[in-house]
Amino acid sequence: MPDDFFADISDGKTPPTYRFFNGKEWVVSTSGKITAVHSPIDASIVGHLQVVTTAEIDAVMETAKAAQPAWEAIPLNQRVKIMHLAADWTAHFADYLIALLMREIGKTTDEAKGEIMRTVDLTDYFADEAQSLRGETLDSDNFPGFEKGRIALVERVAYGVVVAISPFNYPVNLSASKIVPALLMGNSVVFKPPTQGAISGLHLTKIFQKAGVPAGVLSCVTGGGGEIGDYLVSHPKADLITFTGSSDTGRAIAVAGGMKPLVFECGGNNPAVVFPDADMSLTVREIIKGGFSYAGQRCTAIKYVLGTSGVLESLLQEVLLQMKTLVHMGDPRSPETKLVGPVISEQAALHIEEVIQEAVGDGATIATGGKRTASYIEPTILTNVKPTMKIVGTEVFGPVISFMSVNSMDEAATIINGSHFGLQASVFTKDEGTGIVFARQLNVGTVQINGSPQRGPDHFPFLGVKRSGLGVQGVRYSLEAMSRLKPIVLNKPA
Ligand code: NAP
Ligand code: G3H
C-alpha cells in the first residue's frame, strides 16, 4: 500500500508535512522552517517541505562522500538490479504518483501518466545500457614517433558526489534522468528537487531507497533554490553538478559552482519554420501540440512560427480553426481539458500576462487568448510580432505562440541564429532535402523536420547550445556524462 511504503516521508497529517532524506533517515530540519507547496489547480496546500540548514547540507555531503567509494566498488550488475527494481516500484505506484503529479504541478492525466511511464522505461533502459558501456585499450604506435607497447587502459570511473537539481515541469522524469545514470556509474547523489515538485521528488527518493540504494548514497534536500542553492553547488564536496532549469539559474550555478564539471539543460525559445510546400494539416497539428501541451511549460515548446506572409496568413487561419477542437483550457483533472491546464502558479501567470501586454504595447496583435484567470492563461496566439520585440528574446513559459512574417527563409535562419537560445527548431516542408539543407544552417541543439520539438525518444542525444545548455543528455550520453575517462598507461620498459 502506498501509505505504508511512503509512511516515513511525512507526518501523515492532512496536509502532510514532509521530512527530508539525509541519506540515512527521513528527518525534520533543525531550522524549524517549513514551506508550503500550493496546487496550481486551486491554490490548495499539497503539503509542507522542510527548509534544510547549511549545517544539514554539510552533513549530507559528508555522508555522500563517505558512502561513494563502497557504492562504486560493488559490481555493476548489482547497481543495475537496484535500478530495475526502482523502475518496478515506480510502475507499481504509477496511479498514486500520477495523481500526485497532477495535483502538485497541474499536469493533465495523460501528461502525468506520460511522465511516470516514461520514467519507468527510462530507468530500465539506463540500467540495460549501463551494462554495455565499456572502456578501451589504446596502443602507442598509431601516433607518429611511437613504438608499439605503451598501452593505455582507459577506464570509466565515477566523479564522486553528484549534485542533481531538477525543474518543476518534470519533477519525476527529469530527476530520474539525473539520479539513475549518476548512481549506475558509481556516484553518490545529493538531490535537490524543485520546490514545486519536491513532494513528487521525495516519493521518488523513497522508491530508490526501498529498491536498495544503500544508506548515504542518495539523499534529498528541500528548501528554496534561492536559499540553499548557492551553498549546495559551491560545496567543496560536490564533484559535479547536473542541472535542468532556466538559463538564468544555470548562469548563477555556473558562477557559484566555479570550476566544477557542469551538465546543464536550460531554457529554450524554439522556432517552427514553415516552408510554402509544407503539409499544412500536419504542420498545424504539430504547432498546436508543440506550443500548447502542458500549457507551453516545456523547454521544447514551440514559441514562435516563421514563414513568408502568404504562408503565415493561411497557416494562422487554420491554427485558429483547429484550436477550437484540439485545445481546451481547464482543470487538468477534467477529461474535457486538452493541452492547457494552469501554469505553475498565479505569480507565473501574472508574469506571462505582463509579457503578453508588453508585446501588445510593442505592436503585436492578439489573434486569440491573452486573458488570465488565477493561474490559468488562455492559449494565446500573437501576430505582427517583430524580431526586435522583447518577447522574441524571452522564454515565455506559458501557452503563447508568436507568429512572425519573414521575407525569405534566409531571414528566418538569421533570426533563429541571432537568438540567445539554441535548444531545438522545427522545419516543415514536404521536401526532406530542403529541410536538411536548412537544418544545417541552424545553430541549435536539434532540428526536427516535420515534427514539433521534443526531447524523446530518450536514447536520442539531447542538448542545447548557447544559453540552452552544456553537455549532452540521452541514455548513453548521460551515462558518459556521469563518468569520466581514467587512462592508466603501462609504459614499455626501456
Ligand atoms: P528554475 O527556476 O531555474 O529552477 C530549476 C531548479 O533550480 C529548481 O530546483 C530550483 O529550486 C533550483 N534553483 C533555483 N535557484 C537556484 C540557485 N541559485 N542555485 C541552485 N539551484 C537553484 O526553473 P523552473 O522554473 O523550475 O523550470 C523551468 C525552466 O527549466 C525553463 O526555463 C525551462 O526551459 C527549463 N527546462 C529546461 C529543460 C531542458 O532540457 N533544456 C528541461 C526542463 C526545463 P526551487 O524550485 O526551490 O527554486
Ligand atoms: O521541459 C523540457 C523537457 O526536457 C521537455 O521534454 O520534449 O519530452 O516534453 P519533452
Of all residues in the chain, the percent with pLDDT exceeding 90 is 98
* Catalytic site residue from 56, 72, 265, 286: 265
Q: Which ligand 1 atom is at minimum distance from the Cα of 165?
A: 9
Q: Is the pLDDT of residue 73 over 90?
A: yes
In the structure, what pLDDT confidence band is assigned to residue 493 with cuts at 50, 70 and 90?
low
Dist. CA 422–CA 407, nearest whole Å: 22
| Backbone angles phi and psi of 48, in degrees to 5 | -115, 150
> How far, in Å, from the CA of 36 to the mean position of ligand 1?
18
Dist. CA 169–CA 396, nearest whole Å: 14
Residue 265 annotated among the catalytic residues of the structure: yes
Strand order from edge to edge, sheet including 151-158: 136-139, 151-158, 483-490
Please tell me if the CB atom of residue 107 comes closer than 6 angstroms to any atom of ligand 2: no
Q: What is the per-residue pLDDT for 77?
A: 97
Q: Is the pLDDT of residue 2 over 80?
A: no
Q: Is the pLDDT of residue 494 over 70?
A: no
Q: What is the per-residue pLDDT for 485?
A: 97
> How far, in Å, from the CA of 191 to the mean position of ligand 1?
13
* Cell 513568408 sits on residue: 308
In the structure, what pLDDT confidence band is assigned to residue 66 with cuts at 50, 70 and 90?
very high
In the structure, what pLDDT confidence band is assigned to residue 134 with cuts at 50, 70 and 90?
confident
Residue 266 annotated among the catalytic residues of the structure: no
Q: Nearest-CA neighbor of 114 among 476, 486, 454?
A: 454
Q: What is the per-residue pLDDT for 3?
A: 65
Which amino acid is residue 59, in one-letter code? A
Q: What is the per-residue pLDDT for 52?
A: 98
Q: Which ligand 2 atom is at minimum distance from the Cα of 293?
A: 9
3-class SS of residue 112: helix
> How far, in Å, from the CA of 244 to the mean position of ligand 1?
6
Q: Look up the CATH superfamily of 270-461.
A: Aldehyde Dehydrogenase; Chain A, domain 2 (3.40.309.10)
Average pLDDT over residues 88-102: 98
Q: Which ligand 1 atom is at minimum distance from the Cα of 299?
A: 34
Kindly report the pTM of this predicted structure: 0.97
Q: What is the per-residue pLDDT for 1?
A: 55
CB atoms within 10 A of CB 198: 30
Please tell me if the CB atom of residue 249 comes closer than 6 angstroms to any atom of ligand 2: no
**Where along the chain do the CATH 3.40.309.10 domains lie?**
270-461
> How far, in Å, from the CA of 377 to the mean position of ligand 2?
20
Q: What is the per-residue pLDDT for 334?
A: 96
The domain made up of 2-266+472-486 is a member of CATH 3.40.30.160: no
Cβ-Cβ contacts under 8 Å for 240 (sequence gap 6 or more) = 159, 160, 161, 162, 163, 187, 260, 261, 262, 263, 482
**Where along the chain do the CATH 3.40.605.10 domains lie?**
2-266+472-486
Dist. CA 104–CA 106, nearest whole Å: 6
